[in-house]
Copies of this chain bind each other. A is one copy, B any other.
């Protein structure tokens, strides 16, 4: 008998019919003797509808009040799902974030979980009741409703699994796992049976939007065994088969680890690149350039500063394409201030990254990557590396080609030995 936390995404509970299917799936686990805690998202489209109403009232909605409004989506789902479980003959009880209590800080719309009081949930589990806990929401120290930000239900699920020391946190979603890359670009992309947390973090932050990145960090920090699996399979699917399906995100590299050097290829479209040229090479100049950009709430991703030549250097970074014009305007002001020669930008670029813990112990991955790209005539504009990732910036028109040739060159369509 295991203690399982099951999180269901918005499409999984998008209609009352699907909510009934989710209840059947939970009932199957329950009847097999497992203890189950369920964390549903809002019905798909509902959070957007609520935020849309708020924006009709205030173009920039008050954040405290926005959380009051947005959190109702999950509250509806927990009630409906508890009803569906009762209709299946399974004892269930819904809990909002404040009822549990999921205590967060007061950063409305992007609050962070500080603690979870799990004693009511434990009492329910001991009594054979399935607690159905609203994802995405919490309560701050002053009793205000908070939400965790987009995709926050994943984090709720993982945090509950950590608090309850669950055997596994299962994230049911509309894909059946994490792939070596996006199958829409590379049809041969292969589902990974396992991936490490570090790799998943790199994959998630680069556009494989299977899991919210914060939930992966949380799972890594609290050593929660995390599995991504599909809610679109037959709810009566054999339980043993289901239990091994999807992708397991492990915190132990050696846990039956697939021995691939590279686990996957992530990418990010809609990037833009900015370069401040001829920057005097003196202390504080990086901050002088990036400080105003950060103050404008623009996310900076890759940052590269070349070695200086004749006391001056070029300073480049990437931002989301939507922030390109604002970033350029800021840099124009910064340029005179830091005494740089020029500012140039390119908003038609993308980023392609190869991710794999195996890189640590294998040399030559980077050179093989660069050779593969050059053989296709793809010019590399920027390079950035970490322990388990190599990222390159290329012209956006080469995105699909770059991903495809790298996928083939590293045999990612093959099951590793």
Chain A residues with a Cβ under 8 A of chain B = 16, 19-20, 50, 53-54, 56-58, 61-62, 64-69, 71-72, 75-76, 78-80, 82-84, 86-87, 93-94, 96, 98-99, 143-145
Contacts and interface: CB of A to CB of B under 8 A. Distances in A.
B83 A62 contact: yes
A79 B69 contact: yes
What is the predominant secondary structure among interface residues of chain A facing chain B?
helix
B16 A57 contact: yes
A304 to B, nearest CB: 42
Contacts of A65: 78-80, 82-83, 86, 94
- How many copies make up the complex? 2
A76 B53 contact: yes
B76 A69 contact: yes
B68 A75 contact: yes
A87 B62 CA distance: 9
A414 to B, nearest CB: 45
Given A62-B82, A86-B62, A98-B98, A16 B56 contact: yes
A124 to B, nearest CB: 13
A58 B87 contact: yes
A58 B75 contact: no
A20 B68 CA distance: 18
A58 B78 contact: no
A76 B65 CA distance: 9
19 contacts: A19-B57, A53-B76, A57-B87, A58-B84, A62-B83, A64-B94, A65-B78, A65-B80, A65-B82, A65-B83, A66-B83, A68-B75, A68-B82, A69-B80, A71-B75, A72-B72, A98-B98, A99-B143, A99-B145
